[in-house]
């Protein structure tokens, strides 16, 4: 059996222009191995079991004609 987690944020997050912002997750749909904690470091997913993991990220941006949108995922670091 594989260890899996699915997390989300239940509300929209307002991010200021030209500002790196750490996203937090306040909703767990499931977590089979204690990978996420809503209270301690809700922005992190910490794999508890050695192995290979597939990470899928979905971000929905509001329409905007100016600027650019970027996301960074840190692995093995707090960035």
Phi, psi of 5, rounded to the nearest 5 degrees: -145, 145
Which tokens go with 27? Answer: 């909703």
27 strand-pairing partners: 8
pLDDT of residue 33: 94
The list of the chain residues with pLDDT below 70 reads: 1, 77-79
21, 67 Cβ separation under 8 angstroms: no
Tokens of 4: 């899996």
d(CA 16, CA 42): 20
- Cβ neighbors of 46 (< 8 A, separation 6 or more) are 35, 36
């Amino acid at each position: 059996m594989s260890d899996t987690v699915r997390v989300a944020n239940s509300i929209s997050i307002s991010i200021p222009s030209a500002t790196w912002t750490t996203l937090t997750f306040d909703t767990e749909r499931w977590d089979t191995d204690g990978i996420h904690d809503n209270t301690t470091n809700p922005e992190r997913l910490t794999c508890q079991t050695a192995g290979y993991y597939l990470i899928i990220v979905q971000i929905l941006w509001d329409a905007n004609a100016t600027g650019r949108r970027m996301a960074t995922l840190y692995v093995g670091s707090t960035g």
